[in-house]
Structure 1
């Protein structure tokens, strides 16, 4: 039996000025049914991360806020459908 689940996937790459290198890779999934939401971050370049920690962390926070917004939108859609 096929069981299908829908989700929203957000991806992000944080780069610093004057560099084409990805410092942090971000991935988030918001499941339509609310089960299995997750956020992951992978530091790809630890030297650039350390050198730009404050700015990179601000970008991570912005990504996290987008994740929360997707969760909130799902919650609103679920409430409206009931």
Structure 2
């Protein structure tokens, strides 16, 4: 029996000014129709993270807000839309 599950995947990379290096990698999944959602962050460059905590944390908060909006959009869908 084939069971297909759909999800929305969000990915992000945070870079700081004057650097082309990724400081933090972000990944989130929102399962359509309910199920397990996840949000993850991986610090790729701890020195750049420490030197730019304030701006990096603002970017993480922005990504998290996008995740919440995707969850909220799912919650407002009617069964016919899923």
2:40 is aligned with 1:40: yes
Say which SS state the counterpart of residue 77 (structure 1) adopts.
Answer: coil
Map Cα deviations across residues 9-31 of structure 1 (whole Å, 9 max, x no partner). Answer: 00000000000000000000000
**Separation of aligned partners in 2, 1:79 and 1:67:** 21
User: What's 1:74 paired with?
Assistant: 74
TM-score relative to the length of structure 1: 0.93
Instruction: After superposing the two structures, state which structure 1 stretch, 7-16 or 71-80, moved more.
Output: 71-80
Map Cα deviations across residues 12-71 of structure 1 (whole Å, 9 max, x no partner). Answer: 000000000000000000000221100000000000000000100000000000000000
Structure 1 segments, 4+ long, off by >4 Å, are none
For the aligned residues, what is the CA RMSD?
Answer: 1.3
Deviation at 1:78, TM superposition (A): 3.5
TM-score relative to the length of structure 2: 0.93
**Separation of aligned partners in 2, 1:78 and 1:53:** 40
Which segments of 5 or more consecutive residues in structure 1 lack a partner in the other structure?
none
